[in-house]
Amino acid sequence: MTERQHIMIKGVKEGLVFLLNDQCEFATLLDELQYKLEKTHQQLLTGPLVHVHVKLGARQLSDDDKERIKTVIRSQGNLMVQSIESDAKAEGEQQANAQQLHALTTIVRSGQTVEHDGDLLLIGDVNPGGTLLCTGDIYVLGALRGVAHAGTGGRSDVIIAASLMRPTQLRIADVISRPPEEWMTGDAAMEFAFLNEGRMQIDKITHLFRIRHNPIMFKGV
């Protein structure tokens, strides 16, 4: 079998650094990692305990996939995985992209559902029977008269804001709003809903800065 070049193994003072290509398929990496440890780098398998640091480049992996890498390396007896890290700059860029606000101009009519991964700005109305589902914040530049669920992935530090707040139901993470007549204010103009110690509350949008600049107030479930 020809030598593969998706993984570079370097010796450093602290032990070994495994540099993993961030462009190829993950399955290819695992296959090559096992091949190199068992076939072409047997010298690593002898001697005392060796600490290994794995560098993923721009690749982002789930905890399960990181554990798969650890399992392959640990199977070689004297190798101990100390860290598995992605490039800090790449992680920062990914987080910045995830924090970007997606703008959508439309009317969500009865029976329609709009889903988005991240923060969503809807320029238009959500009619009764319409639904917004979002992992991040929801901002409605219009009338919210349907259902809005922010933090669908479990985040509780998100908000739902609307120019006119008249929803049939609001939900943040797993917390569902009480009947609207119990918690909405009289004019319903430019308001936002948020969680405070696991309970949904509503306030004027002009007070949003108090929440965002005082994280201790932003307690979820």
CATH code where residue 118 lies: 2.160.20.70
Containing domain of residue 80, as a range? Answer: 7-92
- The total number of structural domains in the chain stands at 2
What's residue 47's pLDDT?
A: 66
Regarding whether 177 and 139 lie in a shared domain, the answer is yes
Instruction: Quote the distance between the C-alpha of residue 165 and its chain's center.
Output: 27
Q: Model pTM?
A: 0.54
Residue whose structure tokens are 């609307």 = 162
What's residue 28's pLDDT?
A: 87
Residue whose structure tokens are 């319409």 = 130
What's residue 145's pLDDT?
A: 94
Grade residue 196 by pLDDT with cuts at 50, 70 and 90.
confident
What confidence tens digit (pLDDT) does each residue in 68-81 have? Answer: 989 988 887 788 88
**Domain end among 92, 114, 130:** 92
- Can you tell me the mean pLDDT for 15-39? 86
Residues 92-103 as b/e (b if ≥16 CB within 10 A, e otherwise) read: eeeeeeeeeeee
- Reported residue count of the chain is 221
What's residue 29's pLDDT?
A: 86
Grade residue 219 by pLDDT with cuts at 50, 70 and 90.
very low
Top pLDDT among 36 and 126 is at: 126
User: Above 80 in pLDDT, residue 18?
Assistant: yes
**Domain end among 44, 63, 92:** 92
